[in-house]
Amino acid sequence: MSAIGENPPTNKSITTWVQEVADLTQPDNIFWCDGSPEEKANLTELAVETGVLRPLNQDKWPGCYYHRSNPNDVARVENLTFICTEQEEDAGPTNNWMDPVAMRAKLEGILKGCMKGRTMYVVPYLMGPPGSPMSRVGVEITDSVYVVLSMRIMARMGRPALEHLGDGDNFNRGIHSMLDINPERRYIAHFPQENAIISVGSNYGGNVLLGKKCLALRLASFWGRKEGWMAEHMLILGLESPEGKKTYVAAAFPSACGKTNFAMLIPPERFKGWKVWTVGDDIAWMSPGTDGRLWAINPEAGYFGVVPGTNNHSNPNAMKSLARDTVFTNVAITDDGDVWWEGKDNPPPAKLTDWQGKPWKLGSGTKAAHPNSRFTAPMENNPMLAPEVNDPQGVPISAIIFGGRRSTTIPLVYQSFNWLHGVYVGATVGSETTAAATGAVGQIRRDPMAMLPFCGYNMGDYFVHWIRMRKLLKTPPRIFHVNWFRKDDEGNFLWPGFGENMRVLKWIVDRCEGRGHANETSLGWVPGPGDFDLEGLPGFTEEKLAQAQHFSDDEWRREVLQHDELFFKLYGHLPKEIIFQRELLVARL
Ligand code: GTP
Ligand code: SPV
Ligand code: MN
């Protein structure tokens, strides 16, 4: 076994552990990654030589590459994701559980000799800004060069991580092996008590970029509960007024339900002088500050975004973010190295090769790009990247917004009466499932705080933690709920969405700052006619807004029964405050 790449780091805890893993997995080489541009160039060349990446047309797509995954490996696998706490009850009924000793034994059996003939890459990475007390270090061992090149976009890789760690031992130990990409031997296993992750049998983002969902949500939520902070599936944006005042908002929508788009919103003409800055598009770590406000950082350094539907009208900042130095996974390509996907600006070229490598023509009845095709792009490409993204103390959050994908029942926007009511609103979020996870698409399920697949412990205890956070805050964020996805009787979206969501955001920020007017209803505070700026939105009348905002007590009584389904499951860990909130809602209805 030989070492290539950079020299091993001086941190003995890392080198000792890496040697142990190498003894188990028996790679031909160990490659110590440093995150440098030279290393990126060398590994990219290697990835191209071995067919992992294909260069796109470099005139059109500078620094961009194409990756096609195994068709059996295109999304997160919730049924194969495990939380391995000592007690099953600590993982709770919404997670798969296995005893940590048994799981480790099983996976070490699988890992034994699995890197023979392969190179083992060692990727130290930092989640969060350098110098932030909230930032955390992980080391991911992987046999996938695609993972290395993706991790270097998604996290601060190499030196910043090693500097943050120093001589310490407090880093996440992550092991990933693709094996033979076989769903029969695919496991995403978390060991919260040991700060460790083992992921085998996949090469898809959320399963294998271990800093993202595994560390920054499942393990971080576990730490946050112990330490009095929150790790959430939330975007963070800053709304800047024409006078230059910035208000920060965090929003939790389930996977493929609009976080990236909302985080990169460009205000329409009507809101001249207003600007939206992106702090993060997927994950927020939030901690009470000495001033009693909730402060948030984005632990990531890049975007792993949904491609279909992204175009210069819906999300120009995303289009600029993916214009260079981006890896496209599972979109369609042309012979001359261009890319295409459903919902791109122009109709497809006459001839395409689809995400599975098959010839494709318009009208062929299949999708050219996989519905969960993704771009992996550095956040520096985003023209509206908030400079505060590197601020070690983060940004103060004024509002938390929950949202789901719901074609009926749920109004465009409402505000909770208080924190506790807001926790209930978040705990009962329902949303139609999407292609971001394997399984059926379009089925309504409860996805509390958009964290159902990402909470690293018992969901009932998670609600307790949310309620308890109130006591740590002097000025808690106001809590809202939105639904961009309501449809009319013809099946068209009622609300134009995307940039026009600025109108909803403006009302929300006005409410936080004591300006916006609202009416009290049984659901919460809602904008009345005239409280909502509809100027410059021709065709969208007050009646249409009323339709988007309408809710019926009957529909909501049925909705509450669906809340109960989750509550029954969590019975025993469900805080009584949630039951009280349910009773209050029923009484109001
Ligand atoms: P993850 O990366 O999976 O966590 O997803 P996300 O929440 O960041 O979702 P994203 O912003 O990528 O949006 C997913 C899909 O929703 C895309 O196809 C978008 O085009 C669509 N979408 C986003 N915002 C809106 C909106 O305001 N209205 C409508 N109708 N569709 C939207
Ligand atoms: C999601 O599914 O919520 C994502 C994509 O953001 S993944 O990183 O694959 O989880
Ligand atoms: Mn996500």
pLDDT of residue 202 exceeding 80, the answer is: yes
| Cα–Cα distances in angstroms (integers) from residue 350 to residues 54, 309, 354, 360, 362, in the given order | 21, 20, 12, 9, 7
Q: Is residue 200 included in any domain, yes or no?
A: yes
Q: Is residue 349 included in any domain, yes or no?
A: yes
For residue 469, give the CATH number of its domain. Answer: 3.90.228.20
246 with 100, same domain: the answer is no
- DSSP assignments along 422-475, one per residue: HHHHHHT-EEE--TTBSS-SS-EEE-GGG-TTT-SS-HHHHHHHHHHHGGG-SS
- DSSP assignments along 242-300, one per residue: TT--EEEEEEE--TTSSHHHHHT----GGGTT-EEEEEESS-EEEEE-TTSSEEEE---
The answer, yes or no, to whether any atom of ligand 2 lies below 6 A from the CB of 304, is yes
Residue % of the chain over a pLDDT of 70: 99
Atom of ligand 1 nearest to the CA of 500: 27
**Distance, CA 309 to ligand 1 centroid (Å)?**
8
Instruction: For residues 54 and 337, give the distance between their C-alpha atoms in angstroms, rounded to a whole number.
Output: 9
**Mean pLDDT within 37-43:** 97
Instruction: For residues 83 and 218, give the distance between their C-alpha atoms in angstroms, rounded to a whole number.
Output: 8
**Mean pLDDT within 97-120:** 98
Atom of ligand 1 nearest to the CA of 493: 30
Residues in Cβ contact with 15 at an 8 Å cutoff, skipping those fewer than 6 apart: 8, 9
**Distance, CA 320 to ligand 2 centroid (Å)?**
21
Ligand nearest the Cα of residue 498 is: 1
373 with 512, same domain: the answer is no
The answer, yes or no, to whether any atom of ligand 2 lies below 6 A from the CB of 396, is no
Q: Is residue 60 included in any domain, yes or no?
A: no
What's the token pair of residue 348?
């497809």
- Residue 532's pLDDT is 87
Q: Whose CA is nearest to atom 8 of ligand 2?
A: 206
**Mean pLDDT within 434-444:** 95
Q: Does residue 128 come out as left (phi exceeding 0), alpha (psi in the -120 to 50 range) or beta?
A: left
List, for residues 423-436, the tens digit of each pLDDT value.
999 999 999 999 99
Atom of ligand 2 nearest to the CA of 76: 9
Instruction: For residues 78 and 452, give the distance between their C-alpha atoms in angstroms, rounded to a whole number.
Output: 10
370 with 515, same domain: the answer is no
Mutate to test the pocket of ligand 1, among 257, 259, 281 (most ligand atoms within 8 A of CB): 257
**Which range marks the domain in which residue 11 is found?**
2-51+77-227
Instruction: For residues 144 and 440, give the distance between their C-alpha atoms in angstroms, rounded to a whole number.
Output: 29
- Residue 378's pLDDT is 98
Q: Number of folded domains in the chain?
A: 3
Indicate the SS3 state at residue 153: helix
- Residue 7's pLDDT is 82
**Distance, CA 255 to ligand 3 centroid (Å)?**
5
What is the phi/psi pair of residue 358, to 5°?
A: -100, 150
**Residues within 6 Å of ligand 1 by CB:** 253, 255-261, 281-282, 305-306, 308-309, 314, 436, 484-485, 493, 497-498, 501
List, for residues 93-105, the tens digit of each pLDDT value.
999 999 999 999 9
Mutate to test the pocket of ligand 1, among 262, 266, 306, 319 (most ligand atoms within 8 A of CB): 306
pLDDT of residue 330 exceeding 70, the answer is: yes
Atom of ligand 2 nearest to the CA of 233: 3
Q: Whose CA is nearest to atom 23 of ligand 1?
A: 258
Q: Whose CA is nearest to atom 7 of ligand 2?
A: 206
pLDDT of residue 589 exceeding 80, the answer is: yes
Q: Is residue 58 included in any domain, yes or no?
A: no
- DSSP assignments along 59-110, one per residue: TTSTT-EEE---TT-SSB-GGGEEE--SSHHHH-TTSEE--HHHHHHHHHHH
Residues in Cβ contact with 244 at an 8 Å cutoff, skipping those fewer than 6 apart: none
Instruction: For residues 240 and 405, give the distance between their C-alpha atoms in angstroms, rounded to a whole number.
Output: 27
- Residue 4's pLDDT is 62
The answer, yes or no, to whether any atom of ligand 2 lies below 6 A from the CB of 280, is no
Element (H, E) at 377: strand 374-378
**Distance, CA 261 to ligand 1 centroid (Å)?**
6
- Residue 3's pLDDT is 57
294 with 307, same domain: the answer is no
Ligand nearest the Cα of residue 259 is: 1
257 carries an active-site annotation: yes
Average pLDDT, the chain: 97
Ligand nearest the Cα of residue 305 is: 1
pLDDT of residue 6 exceeding 80, the answer is: no
| Cα–Cα distances in angstroms (integers) from residue 532 to residues 90, 258, 263, 378, 537, in the given order | 44, 21, 21, 35, 12
Q: Is residue 213 included in any domain, yes or no?
A: yes
Judge contact between 329 and 305, C-beta under 8 A: no
Indicate the SS3 state at residue 230: strand
Half-sphere exposure of 277 (CA within 13 A, CB side): 19
360 with 391, same domain: the answer is no
**Distance, CA 544 to ligand 3 centroid (Å)?**
31
What's the token pair of residue 311?
């175009």
Catalytic residue, from 84, 257, 455, 512: name it: 257
132 with 275, same domain: the answer is no
Overall residue count recorded for the chain in this entry:
589
**Mean pLDDT within 121-125:** 98
Mutate to test the pocket of ligand 2, among 176, 261, 282 (most ligand atoms within 8 A of CB): 282
**Distance, CA 317 to ligand 2 centroid (Å)?**
19
Judge contact between 201 and 182, C-beta under 8 A: yes
400 with 288, same domain: the answer is yes
List, for residues 389-398, the tens digit of each pLDDT value.
999 999 999 9
For residue 32, give the CATH number of its domain. Answer: 3.40.449.10
Judge contact between 554 and 409, C-beta under 8 A: no
13 by Cβ neighbours in 10 Å (0-12 / 13-18 / 19+) ranks as middle
Q: Is residue 71 included in any domain, yes or no?
A: no
372 with 410, same domain: the answer is no
- Residue 2's pLDDT is 54
Among 227, 258, 281, give the residue marking a domain's end. Answer: 227
| Cα–Cα distances in angstroms (integers) from residue 275 to residues 43, 119, 238, 416, in the given order | 38, 46, 8, 26
Q: Whose CA is nearest to atom 17 of ligand 1?
A: 309
Atom of ligand 2 nearest to the CA of 374: 5
- Residue 539's pLDDT is 87
Cβ of 26: how many Cβ atoms within 10 Å?
A: 17
**Distance, CA 122 to ligand 3 centroid (Å)?**
25
| Cα–Cα distances in angstroms (integers) from residue 89 to residues 94, 99, 227, in the given order | 10, 11, 20
Q: Is residue 573 included in any domain, yes or no?
A: yes
Instruction: For residues 319 and 344, give the distance between their C-alpha atoms in angstroms, rounded to a whole number.
Output: 10
* Apex 376 CA angle, 374 and 377, nearest 5: 135
- Residue 530's pLDDT is 84
Among 199, 227, 255, give the residue marking a domain's end. Answer: 227
220 with 293, same domain: the answer is no
243 by Cβ neighbours in 10 Å (0-12 / 13-18 / 19+) ranks as exposed
| Cα–Cα distances in angstroms (integers) from residue 401 to residues 339, 426, 480, in the given order | 34, 9, 5
Q: Does residue 115 come out as left (phi exceeding 0), alpha (psi in the -120 to 50 range) or beta?
A: alpha
Indicate the SS3 state at residue 588: helix
For residue 369, give the CATH number of its domain. Answer: 2.170.8.10
- Residue 112's pLDDT is 98
**Mean pLDDT within 11-17:** 97
269 with 217, same domain: the answer is no
478 with 540, same domain: the answer is yes
Atom of ligand 2 nearest to the CA of 212: 8
Q: Is residue 342 included in any domain, yes or no?
A: yes
10 with 108, same domain: the answer is yes
What's the token pair of residue 121?
């890459």
- Residue 138's pLDDT is 98
**Least confident piece of the model among 363-372, 479-488, 534-543, 580-589:** 534-543
Among 227, 257, 273, give the residue marking a domain's end. Answer: 227
